Structure 1
Amino acid sequence: MSKEDQGWFAPKRYGYGAGLPIAWQGWALLIGYIAIALSVALLIEWDAEIGGATGFAIFFVATIALMYIAKAKTRGGWKWRWGGDD
């Protein structure tokens, strides 16, 4: 197995994108993303006026980072799949 084949996420069987994590790094990334999302929810609950805008910005950046890393670390990359073995 080459280094390129060792991804953190499995490709989706149908559709475009990544599936569930298949390595501890992928699980750590996903758990970290969920922790950020929960922290943003607490920030908005604490102060809706300032926390809303700040929370949205933090959540937006975290989502873009998650997508970028998942795309780079998905075994076989992101492409449309029809359910076949590839």
Structure 2
Amino acid sequence: MSDRPEWFAPKRYGMGAGLPIAWQGWVVVAFYAAAAALCVAIFGGHDRVTIAIMLPLTAILVLITFRTTRGGWRWRWGEED
């Protein structure tokens, strides 16, 4: 087991994170979804503002999932780790 937190399961095929496996991961996903919904509700008619807000939020989500995925991100072909 690594000394880093493990909030997300790795994808079985391909590279990246799958579903959350800890409550902290679910909180991260819920916060992102709420922020995206709020952003669209407030700035829905202004595409550039919405994109300018969502790009950093998405980058933060990717960074968090990258750092907290069990086993890290690497290409997987469907075998169990």
State the TM-score, normalizing by the size of structure 2: 0.90
Which has more radius of gyration? 1
CA distance in 1: counterparts of 2:2 and 2:42, whole angstroms: 43
2:34 is matched with 35
In the alignment, is residue 73 of structure 1 matched against residue 68 of structure 2?
yes
2:14 is matched with 15
1:60 pairs with one of 55, 59, 70: 55
**Seq. identity, %:** 48
Unpaired stretches in structure 1, ≥5 consecutive residues: none
State the TM-score, normalizing by the size of structure 1: 0.85
Unpaired stretches in structure 2, ≥5 consecutive residues: none
Aligned length: 81
Q: 1:11-34 CA distances to partner (integer Å, 9 max, x unpaired)?
A: 011111000000011000000000
